[in-house]
Amino acid sequence: MWLVSESLALVVLVAVTAPLLRPHGIAGSSIPLVNSRQPFELGYTKARQRCLADMSGFITKGLGKAKIRNSSALSVGRFMAERLHAHLAGFEPWRQVSAPDRLFPETIRTRLMQPLDTRSGKRDGMIEWHRVVLKPSALAIVYSIDSFVAADELHRWPKVFRPVIAWISPSCRKIRGQLREARALMEPILRQRSVRRETGVPAPHDDALEWMEECARGRPYDPAVMAQIGMATVSLHSTADMLTQVLYDLCGRDDLILALRDEVRSVVEQKGLTVSALHDLQLMDSTLKESQRLKPGNATDLHRTDAIVLSDGTRIPRDSYIIVSADRRFNPDVYPNPATFDAYRSMKLRQTAGKETHAQVNTPSPEHLAWGLGKHACPGRNLVVTEIKIALCHILLKYDIKLMDNVRPPPVKNGIAMSANSTAAILVRRR
């Protein structure tokens, strides 16, 4: 009875104190708070909800109140580890992906961009129009979605309570179970490979497990978590979201679809489906960049920082979050008619001397922060773009697509995140 009463008391204490213990802003700082409480509001729950619903509006307000410059003290890895609770059980893939030894990005840069396999799957006879919900079709991995859901639920609680909540939360228990299942599936494969290496039996494998082993060079890592779950989670989520959005953007633009088909036929007939051929798909590259400009994965680029001092003397403490605004994507001085979808925009810029590389979709720049910038840029962006171009080559040549009821699905916004609509459908038929 005492244990039950004490547990109940803990739950009541957490529920009462959670809104009050959440930190807001920087202590002792004169930096203005753009999402403060309204009169008569107790705690910051409603302020947080307003921010999640209209992050772009708060960023615009904030730009008029404070300035910030680029700094080498920023860290994407530390931000990711904090945002996705990498220190807690169940979130080990994010711990491995964001580890300071940088094994994960090194493997992506050096091993993933291998010669492409040009074999295609069987043709299927989808002659009539039928309904397809895009994102679940493209996003086959479950852990990615479930870990984001669990991470968001934990962020509703102050840090001091998160280890306890993570242990009892159904969403966190679910992802821990998924990792146990993944390890159980991988264990016999890893054991078999280990035996072959020890006995000197040659058994080359051109896969993620082998790449990680080669790149690790003695650095510790969990092969089941990092090589399988971690790599799939990071790559498939971004790829599925971007592919979904570009298909929404293509629907209803029949002239653009015809032009893209002609480009694909011309290039593939000459070079096949190779890395060189994909590089020559300039209109497709420009279309991808325009789609990503109007609907990036995030409305801003975030980092965690070491202690830094700005030029005006403002001190930003260690482990603060820095938001780098991506508002230049709607700046008419940078992009004429910025609200208009112009698939040829970057293709035209690419024909300008000195801008050939700058205009490509996988090139980060201050005008295009969708991938981050500089040393903090996404290391897997080339892989994502390559996968999407291959998928589009098949889709454009094999299928007709159109909107349901001629309505283009709007992106779903949640704080800084902007996701392609995951419940909307388009019409698809075999050509």
Q: Please choose, from the candidates 255, 43, 51, 316, the residue with its C-alpha nearest in 3D space to the C-alpha of residue 158.
A: 43
Going by the annotation, the residues of the binding site for heme are 378
Q: Please choose, from the candidates 58, 237, 49, 226, the residue with its C-alpha nearest in 3D space to the C-alpha of residue 139.
A: 237
Give kind and range of the element (H or E) at residue 185.
Answer: helix 170-199
Q: Please choose, from the candidates 63, 396, 75, the residue with its C-alpha nearest in 3D space to the C-alpha of residue 261.
A: 396
Measure the CA–CA gap between 69 and 312, rounded to whole angstroms.
Answer: 11
Please tell me what DSSP assigns to residue 133: E
Helices and strands of the chain, counted as H and E runs: 18, 10
Measure the CA–CA gap between 48 and 28, rounded to whole angstroms.
Answer: 21
Q: Please choose, from the candidates 342, 341, 360, the residue with its C-alpha nearest in 3D space to the C-alpha of residue 350.
A: 360
Please tell me what DSSP assigns to residue 40: T
Going by the annotation, the residues of the binding site are 378
3-state secondary structure 348-363: HHHCCCCCCCCCCCCC
Measure the CA–CA gap between 418 and 425, rounded to whole angstroms.
Answer: 18
